[in-house]
Structure 1
């Protein structure tokens, strides 16, 4: 049996995967069934969340400059966050979609290093039964579908060859830091406030975090804020001012400057370009 090193111990791959699954948090942002036609035509879309497409009929295509992946009936397709893809449907397609986040313990994205679109083959009757029960909008249907998602994600972890061991060590070492930032994220959150809460010197924490992860506290704050901003822009109809208020920016102009600096586009242009 294959083994891996975790926490200075040799454990079986099954035990390692069980640990990951026990600590996974799946957040479904939006889901639904849609019947698409040739007007499903979107170029160079980048999203802050992962996408799953369950193809129930018809055909489509996702592609970028590196690869092309046909969307065929009976397949489950995973499109990772922060990667850029174009979407096509030549005729028609019956699709169930899920936009979601999957994190390990303190909000760290499991598929952060994955940029490839992936396909899973799954029993079609299981897919249709789970979707049908979810559409009933009762508790058992939600539980059934979330169970299916856990199975799908555990398979994606294996086939994408995501190595979670370094990330698990980082999360455990900086658990309090990540937890504080995730719970207090806002446009007004300062590094000095975080350092004081951690009761550590700024220089020591900066050097340690940078050496272990490659990013600084400010980098982590900005990334969390940017991802949350993108989610609001793509998944809600809130105005720019409302989003700025919800995320704790002093005003919408400060929010717009922040967003443009880190994404290269004004918030309204990002929404228009990437909303599907």
Structure 2
């Protein structure tokens, strides 16, 4: 019997799982942040103690032996009363550059896992051996897959929309700058500005300008956390007119200055 595997091939051949940052933390009551909102997904794996993540819609207790997936662009208050030992990673999972498949989530996902496996992950994640780290990468991907298993993140119709705007996404990804205009995108994708703005909002649920800003902030955050570039160099790279204007833009979006954001999350 012949089966149509076109959709399967499309997804599995293009799926990218990227770990942007990771850490191993022993926390106490100083871990207390209000309105934390990242431009990447976070996975918390609790090895001991307890903490809490909450917003206006839900309150989730972080418990030993559980993993928690906090989706991108979703604000949470983070707190620990006494003690919390956890592994955390920042990641994205994309089929098309700039389109994270977890973006459709609007809640924290959590699940209990075999604790011996979590302990082994805690031991190997700081290893200097490549084989250990390959195992960690695969284990983290497997855990995220299990957390997402019952969520319908990407229907075939949604995939068709992503393909429809493939050229737009790729142009924005390649030319992601503060001064990027809709006219420039239109000229390089052969879609009129009027058609592009109307259809993109209708199909994707946000304006194209909002999407460009999201991608710009996501790239800036990556550079702050994953490189040692100065704030001034990052501002110049993304075509801000000066460092002051860049810092004001960043603080307006995330509530803290670029340097404070880097100092809070990089280590």
User: 1:264, 1:46 → 2: CA distance?
Assistant: 7
In the aligned structure 1, how far is the partner of 2:164 from the partner of 2:87? 39
Alignment of 1:195-210 (within 5 A): 195-210=186-201
Q: Which one of 251, 261, 266 corresponds to residue 271 of structure 1?
A: 261
Distance 1:176 1:163 in 2: 19
Distance 1:167 1:138, change over 3 A: farther
What's the offset of the Cα at 1:98? Answer: 0.7
Contact conserved, 1:49 with 1:231, CA < 8 A, in 2?
A: no
Q: Which TM-score applies when normalising by structure 1?
A: 0.81
Specify the alignment match of 1:136 in structure 2. 127
Runs of 5+ unmatched residues, structure 2: none
Question: What's the CA shift for 1:26?
Answer: 1.7
CA contact (8 A) 1:240 1:267 kept: no
Q: Is the 8 A contact 1:131 1:145 kept in 2?
A: no
Give the unaligned 5+ runs of structure 1.
Answer: 1-9
- 160, 168, 191: which one aligns with 2:182: 191
CA distance change for structure 1 residues 11 and 200 in 2, over 3 Å: closer, same or farther? same
The farther-off stretch of 90-99 and 215-224 is: 215-224
CA contact (8 A) 1:47 1:274 kept: no
- Cα gap change, 1:199 to 1:96, in 2 (>3 Å): same
The answer as to 2:65 corresponding to 1:65 is no
Change (3 A) 1:251 1:131: same
Partner of 1:250: 241
Query: Secondary structure of the equivalent of 2:57?
Result: coil
Q: Is the 8 A contact 2:250 2:258 kept in 1?
A: no
| Range moving further from structure 2, 155-164 or 38-47 | 155-164
RMSD: 3.1
- CA drift of 1:22 comes to 4.4
Which residue of 35, 39, 44 corresponds with 1:44? 35
Task: State whether structure 2 residue 20 is matched by structure 1 residue 29.
Answer: yes
CA contact (8 A) 1:188 1:250 kept: no
Superposed displacement of residue 69, structure 1: 1.3
**Aligned length in residues:** 264
Q: Distance in 2 between matches of 1:229 and 1:149?
A: 25
> How many angstroms apart in 1 are the aligned matches of 2:163 and 2:129?
36
Distance 2:24 2:255 in 1: 30
Question: Within 5 Å, which residues of 2 pair with 1:2-151?
Answer: 20-151=11-142
What is the TM-score of this pair, normalised by structure 2?
0.83
| Equivalent-residue separation in structure 2 for 1:219 and 1:45 (angstroms) | 19
Query: Alpha-carbon deviation of 1:157?
Result: 2.3
Match of 2:218 in 1: 227
